[in-house]
Amino acid sequence: DQQVKQNSPSLSVQEGRISILNCDYTNSMFDYFLWYKKYPAEGPTFLISISSIKDKNEDGRFTVFLNKSAKHLSLHIVPSQPGDSAVYFCAASPYSGGGADGLTFGKGTHLIIQP
């Protein structure tokens, strides 16, 4: 049973436009949500996170939105740049701070930025 779902295996967006990556979860105990970014032949790196007490967190071009009632979060990248082409993993934790304890990952979405 997948507790964190990323239903789009891939997404293609034109450079300069907005990229929206979606993530759904089923476990109501999840309290903290993270996005990791992964380039080919490299390990994932932390990108941005959000606590369940917030509905939005912004860091430069990256914004994460959380809709707790719908158990849905999304990552917005504006404007999209070629270097944003990567696989993006959504992850959720039942604990605040997003530590490794209890962290559950989605399958990832491969974002392709078209020039």
Partner 1 sequence: SQTIHQWPATLVQPVGSPLSLECTVEGTSNPNLYWYRQAAGRGLQLLFYSVGIGQISSEVPQNLSASRPQDRQFILSSKKLLLSDSGFYLCAWSRHRGRNSPLHFGNGTRLTVT
SS3 of 33-68: EEEEEECCCCCCEEEEEEECCCCEEEECCEEEEEEC
Residue 33 in contact with partner 1, rule: CB under 8 A: no
Residue 97 in contact with partner 1, rule: CB under 8 A: yes
Residue 21 in contact with partner 1, rule: CB under 8 A: no
* Farthest CA pair distance, the chain: 40
Q: Name the one range near partner 1 by CB under 8 A: 57-65, 66-74, 78-86, 101-109.
A: 101-109
Least Å distance between CB 89 and partner 1?
7
Q: How many CA atoms lie within 13 A of 58 on its CB side?
A: 3
Residue 1 in contact with partner 1, rule: CB under 8 A: no
Sign for the pseudo-dihedral over CA of 65, 69, 70, 71: positive
Give me the residues that bind partner 1 (CB under 8 A), please. 2, 4, 6, 9, 41-46, 89, 91, 95-101, 103-108
